[in-house]
């Protein structure tokens, strides 16, 4: 019943009480370690409402750990995270979802045996209000709700241009389309902050171009704030408004793509320096 | 004058009529957000009226030309009739045209407005808009991604309609005036300008007049007894004459419902959901369907496979006879009825062909087996022959008189004549009034007495059906004077699954010969099953057993040719299996996989010479281009085989045999 109360707190991107350009998420002095291994050391940055924020860095820089901290999977030992004005330290991922944070994964994590439609519908479950009794009966409020959610899902299907695979089990789909379905499921949660963990990994050029366009469209048309991790520098520099660079768990640069690109410490981190 | 004003000689007049006689019948459906949305004829009239009046409000004037670019969507089809209702000319343009081609067409047609589907097309047009001063307003259907574009000269379809509705609300007289304008419209006006796809040089604007277009559509609607109860799925390119004719023109005249797919990729599913009663597809679509059915049956269990084979055999024996209402033994009828329950009906359902009453194919030759497969399932598949210049139909097969190798007799009110040189000439009610701004080219294709030259060579068969054999310019003669149509022979060869490509020679020679490319997949499968090891295409192509197999195919081709008096002279006397696959990278094929004859002639001159000097093998070196652009050489000794010639072909051959 707890979840029910939390569910009513949910607010979509356009009415989350944060004005465009204001700070949506603030990460302050966060450190995370696993035993003796320091994954993240004293990192601070913020994400402003309505922007596309990239987190980049060489392998093992702590990018995915950072994402996991933001969406509550890891609890940092030090530091605070403020999302929509609420400070927190420890939380569970489903609380993050109810607060309006959705994510996709580096390795596609879909229900392989279910259709595209059902996978995206699953993303709506956070918004389902009718109780399990009605849902089992499949009548009254449950049916009305189902129709309402289906409409939202159809909008997403239309948005991502995946009408032709609506009824296809996702396990049968090529990788690029699976990534798109995963984005669809995250969008179905109507998040105010969308975390994308390497949305372009393993894609060919054409799929990357498509995905870039969808990310921009999500950002511009739905007003969703996006934080993404990506290895393809071309994509990052074109897509994002601001970039934060991590290396060995430390922040080494933060700013507009052009500034970051010319930052000596960033160049060193990527290309290595003579010792 | 009153007579002229009320006669039905334009499509907008049919819109008014249909909104009256079929008021509550569906006119248009479109799958959107997973649900089929539909509009009745009355609602369609309302949408078109709002858009037409809105167009006027943003400056449309009589005679303006409007480009229509995009996929099959209701709003684009409404644009056609809205523009026609205002005395303008719609100019549909291929949506996949690159910016440069599109710029050429838009400039040449002198369009002032463009109604396009989405951001992609808007971007394309804006990239060259400066160079086309006439083009002032662009209207888009889907707003996605366009919200932050500068608004000058850019309108959403919905906004134009809203403007129209505001005008209609403010001026109650306006609707009546619009309808009066339609009634005053003349059948002499140009109804649509269709640009040819431009495979031979720059594309040309084919002008079709309204009265002729309506007449042609009425004729074929009567020919196939199409009514308002029929339905179609509009999935062919909007700018192609076939789509404009079969879906738009026939749809308005007959009053049937046009269904627009959700997206180009969903066509197979949409087809299945709608199950149209009238269907058109080029041969390669049917080929693709058959292949997918065959592949899926390969994965089926043993019992299902057996059932499939068994009942397809039953269908092959009796299906076409039952379709054509010819006598069939009772046992055959019973077996077919059982097959219909177990196989044919479910298969038709999967293919979206459950309700098909009339289906057509055209555009290229279709294999007899492929054609029969669909007909034997109970699908009334027929052939037609047509051209943009004819506003589609020149010939069409009648129900019950259908063959794979002909295209039928002339459609009603069409005259066909074969010229001295064997070229097909026609005169039809829907024929074009000329190429836009190109009188010279118009004159080139017209004969002095007003017939249009098709550029195709053909002849009438015994039963009065037209047979198209080749492009007229490719048809030649053997030295003994018998007709030699290379593509006709090549197509016959290519219908064998083992043969992928063939090139026939014989013009100004003593006899016909052919290069063969084997189909690596089909022949490779065969080799695997028969434990024949091979390392490369070249090795397989030269294998004696492969030669034997292909010789049987050539023999069968000759046997078929010998049965046709016009073609019997050009049977293949000698053939060889080429040591490499013809490839577009080497310039032997066009990018659309058509043989470039002149180039092949030149490149393989030595091999062709060997055909005629009696050698049984020939050593050749051929330069090839690899995928990464490197060049290499293939060396091979190609064996030249003789083929058996049937019947009594040329007199010369008979004399030789007697000596």
Instruction: Answer whether B186 touches A (CB < 8 Å).
Output: no
Q: Is pTM, for the whole model, over 0.90?
A: no
Q: What is the pLDDT of residue A8?
A: 33
Instruction: Answer whether B299 touches A (CB < 8 Å).
Output: no
Q: Which of A154, A164, A220 sits opposite B33 (nearest CB)?
A: A154
Cβ-Cβ contacts under 8 Å between A and B: the total is 33
Kindly identify which residue of chain B lies nearest to residue A158, measuring between CA atoms: B33
Containing structural domain, residue B514: 475-658
Chain A residues touching residue B123 (CB < 8 angstroms) = none
Count of domains for chain B = 3
Instruction: Answer whether B545 touches A (CB < 8 Å).
Output: no
Question: Distances from the Cα of A168 to the Cαs of A164, A210, B169, B285, B587, in angstroms?
Answer: 8, 20, 47, 22, 40
CB contact under 8 A, A164 and B32: no
CB contact under 8 A, A163 and B144: no
Q: What is the pLDDT of residue A275?
A: 63
Cα–Cα distance for residue pair A24/A36, rounded to 1 Å: 32
Same domain assignment for residues B15 and B47:
yes
Taking 60 as the threshold, does the pLDDT of residue B569 lie above it? Answer: yes
Same domain assignment for residues B605 and B467:
no
Cα–Cα distance for residue pair B190/B193, rounded to 1 Å: 7
Mean pLDDT (whole number) for B556-576: 91
Chain B residues touching residue A161 (CB < 8 angstroms) = 263
Q: Which of A154, A164, A217 sits opposite B263 (nearest CB)?
A: A164
Chain B residues touching residue A167 (CB < 8 angstroms) = 269
Kindly identify which residue of chain A lies nearest to residue B266, measuring between CA atoms: A164
Cα atoms in the Cβ-side hemisphere of radius 13 Å centred on B140: 20
pLDDT confidence bin for B200, thresholds 50/70/90:
low
Task: Note whether ipTM > 0.85 here.
Answer: no
Kindly identify which residue of chain B lies nearest to residue A217, measuring between CA atoms: B145
CB contact under 8 A, B262 and A167: no
Cβ proximity of B369 and B390 under 8 Å: no
Cα–Cα distance for residue pair B574/B579, rounded to 1 Å: 16
Tokens 């005249």 belong to residue: B253
* Average pLDDT of the residues of chain B: 91
Cα–Cα distance for residue pair B286/B351, rounded to 1 Å: 10
**What CATH number has the domain bearing residue B641?**
3.30.300.30
Mean pLDDT (whole number) for B189-211: 87
CA distance B358 to chain A (A): 27
Identify the domain boundary among B474, B497, B514: B474
Query: What are the tokens at B612?
Result: 């005629």
pLDDT digits (tens, 9 = 90+) for B534-552: 999 999 999 999 999 999 9
CB contact under 8 A, A217 and B262: no
Same domain assignment for residues B459 and B555:
no
The answer to whether residue B339 sits within a structural domain is no
Q: Which of A66-75, B192-201, B271-280 has the highest mean predicted lDDT (pLDDT)?
A: B271-280
Q: Which of A158, A161, A167 sits opposite B33 (nearest CB)?
A: A158
CB contact under 8 A, A217 and B32: no
CB contact under 8 A, A217 and B33: no
Listed in sequence order, the residues at least 6 apart from B468 whose beta carbon sits closer than 8 Å to its beta carbon are B365, B385, B407, B424, B456, B457, B458
Identify the domain boundary among B166, B183, B210: B210
Kindly identify which residue of chain B lies nearest to residue A165, measuring between CA atoms: B266
pLDDT digits (tens, 9 = 90+) for B460-492: 988 899 999 888 988 999 999 888 999 999 989
CB contact under 8 A, B32 and A157: no
The answer to whether residue B185 sits within a structural domain is yes
Q: A3-30 in b/e burial notation, b at 16+ Cβ within 10 A? A: eeeeeeebbebeebebeeeeebbbbeeb
Kindly identify which residue of chain B lies nearest to residue A154, measuring between CA atoms: B33
Instruction: Answer whether B462 touches A (CB < 8 Å).
Output: no
Taking 50 as the threshold, does the pLDDT of residue B356 lie above it? Answer: yes
Cβ proximity of A167 and A132 under 8 Å: no
Cα–Cα distance for residue pair B418/B391, rounded to 1 Å: 20
Chain B residues touching residue A151 (CB < 8 angstroms) = 33
Tokens 């196939």 belong to residue: B224
Query: What is the DSSP secondary-structure string of A115-184?
Result: BHHHHHHHHGGGG--S-HHHHHHT-THHHHHHHHHHHHHHHHHHHTT-GGGTTSBGGGS-HHHHHHHHHH
Same domain assignment for residues B486 and B467:
no
CA distance A217 to chain B (A): 7
CB contact under 8 A, A221 and B147: yes
Q: What is the pLDDT of residue B442?
A: 94
pLDDT digits (tens, 9 = 90+) for B35-84: 999 999 999 999 999 999 999 999 999 999 999 999 999 999 999 999 99
pLDDT digits (tens, 9 = 90+) for B137-196: 999 999 988 888 999 999 999 999 999 999 999 999 999 999 999 999 999 999 999 998
pLDDT digits (tens, 9 = 90+) for A37-48: 889 999 999 999
Q: Which of B147, B148, B265 sits opposite A164 (nearest CB)?
A: B265
Cβ proximity of B276 and B259 under 8 Å: yes
CB contact under 8 A, A163 and B265: yes
Same domain assignment for residues B577 and B469:
no
Cβ proximity of B79 and B49 under 8 Å: no
Instruction: Answer whether B630 touches A (CB < 8 Å).
Output: no
Same domain assignment for residues B442 and B499:
no
Strands of the sheet with B231-233, listed across from one edge: B35-40, B26-32, B257-260, B231-233
Angle between helices B174-184 and B41-57 (to 10 degrees): 100
Angle between helices B74-85 and B174-184 (to 10 degrees): 80
Q: Given its phi and psi angles, is residue B522 left (phi above 0), alpha (psi -120 to 50 degrees) or beta? A: alpha
Cα–Cα distance for residue pair B180/B63, rounded to 1 Å: 17
Chain A residues touching residue B299 (CB < 8 angstroms) = none
Q: Would you state the torsion angle of the CA atoms of residues B578, B583, B585, B586, taken in this order, to the nearest 10 degrees?
A: 30
Q: What is the pLDDT of residue B648?
A: 55
Indicate the burial class of B629 (C-beta count within 10 angstroms; 0-12, 13-18, 19 or more): exposed
Same domain assignment for residues B458 and B607:
no
Q: Which of A166, A217, A221 sits opposite B34 (nearest CB)?
A: A166
Taking 80 as the threshold, does the pLDDT of residue B370 lie above it? Answer: yes
pLDDT digits (tens, 9 = 90+) for B85-128: 999 999 999 998 889 889 999 999 999 999 999 999 999 999 99
Q: What is the pLDDT of residue B198?
A: 64
- Containing H/E element for B267? helix B267-274
pLDDT confidence bin for B563, thresholds 50/70/90:
confident
Higher per-residue pLDDT: A114 or B583: A114
The answer to whether residue B272 sits within a structural domain is no
| Strands B205-209, B434-435: pairing kind | antiparallel
Indicate the range of A6-15, B594-603, B640-649 predicted with least confidence. A6-15
CA distance B37 to chain A (A): 14
Same domain assignment for residues B59 and B169:
yes
Same domain assignment for residues B535 and B439:
no
Same domain assignment for residues B525 and B600:
yes
Neighbours of B168 (CB within 10 A): 18
Instruction: Show the CA angle centred on residue B450, arms to residues B448 and B453, nearest 5°.
Output: 90
Q: Does domain A2-271 have CATH number 3.40.50.1100?
A: no
Taking 50 as the threshold, does the pLDDT of residue B433 lie above it? Answer: yes
Instruction: Answer whether B587 touches A (CB < 8 Å).
Output: no
Instruction: Answer whether B37 touches A (CB < 8 Å).
Output: no
Cα–Cα distance for residue pair A17/B39, rounded to 1 Å: 41
Backbone φ, ψ for residue B234 (5° rounding): -85, 100
Taking 60 as the threshold, does the pLDDT of residue B4 lie above it? Answer: no
Per residue of chain A (275 residues), give pLDDT as tens. 333 333 333 334 445 677 888 889 999 999 999 888 889 999 999 999 999 999 998 888 889 899 999 988 888 888 889 988 888 767 788 888 888 899 998 888 899 999 999 999 999 988 877 777 777 777 777 888 889 999 999 999 999 999 999 999 999 998 889 999 999 999 999 999 999 999 988 888 888 988 999 999 899 888 899 999 988 888 888 899 999 999 988 999 999 999 988 888 888 888 777 76
Identify the domain boundary among B158, B183, B210: B210
Tokens 């996929």 belong to residue: B71
- The closest of B231, B243, B236 to B275, measured between CA atoms, is B231
CB contact under 8 A, A164 and B34: no
Same domain assignment for residues B427 and B480:
no
**Disruptive mutation site among B30, B31, B34 for chain A (greatest number of A CBs within 10 Å):** B34
Kindly identify which residue of chain A lies nearest to residue B120, measuring between CA atoms: A213
Cα–Cα distance for residue pair B125/B120, rounded to 1 Å: 9
Instruction: Answer whether B147 touches A (CB < 8 Å).
Output: yes
Mean pLDDT (whole number) for B303-324: 94
CA distance A178 to chain B (A): 17
Question: Distances from the Cα of B561 to the Cαs of B484, B489, B492, B558, in angstroms?
Answer: 11, 8, 9, 5
CB contact under 8 A, A161 and B263: yes
Would you give the distance in Å from CA A161 to the centre of its chain? 20
Query: What is the DSSP secondary-structure string of B548-575?
Result: HHHHHHHHHHHHHHHTSTTTGGG-EEEE
The answer to whether residue B458 sits within a structural domain is yes
**What CATH number has the domain bearing residue B430?**
2.30.38.10
Cα–Cα distance for residue pair A156/B531, rounded to 1 Å: 53
Tokens 């292949």 belong to residue: B291
Question: Distances from the Cα of B407 to the Cαs of A82, B392, B421, in angstroms?
Answer: 74, 13, 20
DSSP character at residue A234: H
Chain B residues touching residue A150 (CB < 8 angstroms) = 34
pLDDT digits (tens, 9 = 90+) for B404-430: 989 999 999 999 999 988 899 999 999
Taking 60 as the threshold, does the pLDDT of residue B588 lie above it? Answer: yes
Indicate the burial class of B508 (C-beta count within 10 angstroms; 0-12, 13-18, 19 or more): exposed
Chain A residues touching residue B269 (CB < 8 angstroms) = 164, 167
CB contact under 8 A, A163 and B145: no
Query: What are the tokens at B632?
Result: 């290499």
Same domain assignment for residues B12 and B95:
yes
- Containing H/E element for B369? helix B368-376
Cα–Cα distance for residue pair A176/A179, rounded to 1 Å: 5
**Disruptive mutation site among B33, B142, B143 for chain A (greatest number of A CBs within 10 Å):** B33
Chain A residues touching residue B33 (CB < 8 angstroms) = 151, 154-155, 157-158
The answer to whether residue B132 sits within a structural domain is yes
Chain B residues touching residue A160 (CB < 8 angstroms) = none
How many helices (H) and strands (E) chain A has is answered by 11, 10
Q: What is the pLDDT of residue A16?
A: 65
Query: What are the tokens at B411?
Result: 């459609």
A-side interface with B, Cβ within 8 Å?
150-151, 154-155, 157-159, 161, 163-164, 166-167, 217, 220-221
């Amino acid at each position: 019943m707890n979840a029910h109360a939390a569910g009513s707190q949910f607010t979509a991107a356009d009415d989350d009480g944060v004005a465009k350009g204001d700070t949506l998420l603030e990460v302050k002095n966060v450190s995370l370690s696993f035993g003796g291994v320091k994954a993240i050391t004293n990192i601070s940055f913020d994400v402003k409402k309505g922007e596309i924020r990239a987190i980049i860095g060489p392998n093992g820089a702590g990018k995915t750990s950072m994402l996991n901290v933001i969406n509550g999977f890891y609890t940092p030992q030090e530091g605070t995270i403020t999302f929509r004005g609420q400070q927190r330290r420890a939380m569970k991922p489903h609380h993050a979802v109810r607060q309006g944070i959705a994510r996709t994964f580096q390795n596609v994590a879909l229900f392989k045996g279910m259709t595209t439609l059902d996978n995206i519908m699953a993303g709506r479950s956070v918004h389902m209000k009718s109780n399990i009794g009605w849902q089992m009966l499949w009548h009254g409020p449950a049916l009305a709700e189902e129709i309402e959610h289906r409409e939202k899902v159809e909008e997403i299907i239309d948005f991502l241009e995946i009408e032709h695979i609506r009824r296809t089990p996702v396990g049968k789909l090529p990788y690029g389309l699976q990534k798109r379905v995963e984005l669809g499921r995250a969008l179905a949660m109507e998040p105010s902050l969308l975390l994308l963990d390497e949305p372009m990994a393993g894609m060919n050029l054409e799929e990357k171009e498509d995905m870039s366009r969808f990310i921009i469209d999500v950002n511009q048309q739905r007003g969703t704030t996006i934080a993404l991790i990506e290895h393809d520098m071309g994509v990052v520099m074109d897509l994002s408004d601001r970039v934060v660079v991590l290396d060995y768990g430390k922040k080494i640069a933060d700013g507009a793509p052009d500034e970051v690109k010319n930052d000596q410490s960033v160049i060193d981190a990527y290309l290595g320096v003579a010792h | 004058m009153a007579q002229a004003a009320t006669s039905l000689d334009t499509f907008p007049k049919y819109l008014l009529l249909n909104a009256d006689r079929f008021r509550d019948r569906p006119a248009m459906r479109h799958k959107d957000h997973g649900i089929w949305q539909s509009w009745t004829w009355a609602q369609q009239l309302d949408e078109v009226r709002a858009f037409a009046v809105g167009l006027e409000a943003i400056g449309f004037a009589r005679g303006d030309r409007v480009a229509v670019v995009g996929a099959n969507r209701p709003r684009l089809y409404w644009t056609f009739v809205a523009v026609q209702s205002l005395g303008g000319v719609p100019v549909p343009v291929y949506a996949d045209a690159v910016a440069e081609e599109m710029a050429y067409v838009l400039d040449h047609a002198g369009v002032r407005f463009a109604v396009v589907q989405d951001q992609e097309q808007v971007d394309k047009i804006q990239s060259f808009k400066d160079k086309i001063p006439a083009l002032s307003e662009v209207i888009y259907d889907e707003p996605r991604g366009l919200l932050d574009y500068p608004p000058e000269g850019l309108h959403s379809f919905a906004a134009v309609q809203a403007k129209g509705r505001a005008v209609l609300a403010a001026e109650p007289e306006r609707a009546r005036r619009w309808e009066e304008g339609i009634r005053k419209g003349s059948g002499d006006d140009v109804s649509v300008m269709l640009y040819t796809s431009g495979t031979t040089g720059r594309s040309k604007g084919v002008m079709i007049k309204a009265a002729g277009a309506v007449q042609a559509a009425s004729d074929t609607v009567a020919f196939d007894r199409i009514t308002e109860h029929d339905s179609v799925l509009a999935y062919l390119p909007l700018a192609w004459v076939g789509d404009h004719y079969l879906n738009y023109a026939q749809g308005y005249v007959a009053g049937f419902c046009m269904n627009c797919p959700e997206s180009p990729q969903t066509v197979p599913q949409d087809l299945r959901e709608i199950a149209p009663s009238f269907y058109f597809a080029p041969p390669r679509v049917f080929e693709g369907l058959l292949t997918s059915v065959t592949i899926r049956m390969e994965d089926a269990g043993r019992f299902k496979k057996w059932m499939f084979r068994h009942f397809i055999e039953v269908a092959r024996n009796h299906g076409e006879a039952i379709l054509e209402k010819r006598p069939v033994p009772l046992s055959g009828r019973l077996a077919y009825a059982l097959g219909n329950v177990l196989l044919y009906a479910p298969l038709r359902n999967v293919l979206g062909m459950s309700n098909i009453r009339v289906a057509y194919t055209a555009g290229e030759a279709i294999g007899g087996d492929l054609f029969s497969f669909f007909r034997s399932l109970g699908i009334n598949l027929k052939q037609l022959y047509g051209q943009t210049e004819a506003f589609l139909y020149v010939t069409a097969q009648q129900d019950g008189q259908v063959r794979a190798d002909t295209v039928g007799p002339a459609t009603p009110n069409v005259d066909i004549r074969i010229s001295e040189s064997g070229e097909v000439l026609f005169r039809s009610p829907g024929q074009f009034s000329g190429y836009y701004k190109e009188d010279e080219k118009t004159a080139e294709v017209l004969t002095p007495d007003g017939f249009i030259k098709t550029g195709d060579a053909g002849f009438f068969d015994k039963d009065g059906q037209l047979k198209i054999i080749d492009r007229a310019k490719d048809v030649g003669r053997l030295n003994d004077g018998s007709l030699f149509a290379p593509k006709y022979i090549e197509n016959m060869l290519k219908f064998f699954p083992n043969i992928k490509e063939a090139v026939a020679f014989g013009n100004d020679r003593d006899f016909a010969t052919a290069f063969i490319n084997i189909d690596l997949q089909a022949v490779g499968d065969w080799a695997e099953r028969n434990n024949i090891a091979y390392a490369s295409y070249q090795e397989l192509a030269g294998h004696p057993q492969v030669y034997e197999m292909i010789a049987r195919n050539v023999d069968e081709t000759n046997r078929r040719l010998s049965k046709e008096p016009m073609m019997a002279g050009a049977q293949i006397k000698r053939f060889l299996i080429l040591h490499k696959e013809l490839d577009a990278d080497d310039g032997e094929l066009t990018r659309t996989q058509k043989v470039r004859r002149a180039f092949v002639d030149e490149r393989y001159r030595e091999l062709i010479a060997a055909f005629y000097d009696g050698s049984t093998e020939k050593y050749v070196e051929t330069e090839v281009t690899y995928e990464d652009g490197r060049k290499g050489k293939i060396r091979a000794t190609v064996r030249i085989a003789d083929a058996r010639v049937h019947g009594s072909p040329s007199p010369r051959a008979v004399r030789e045999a007697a000596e």
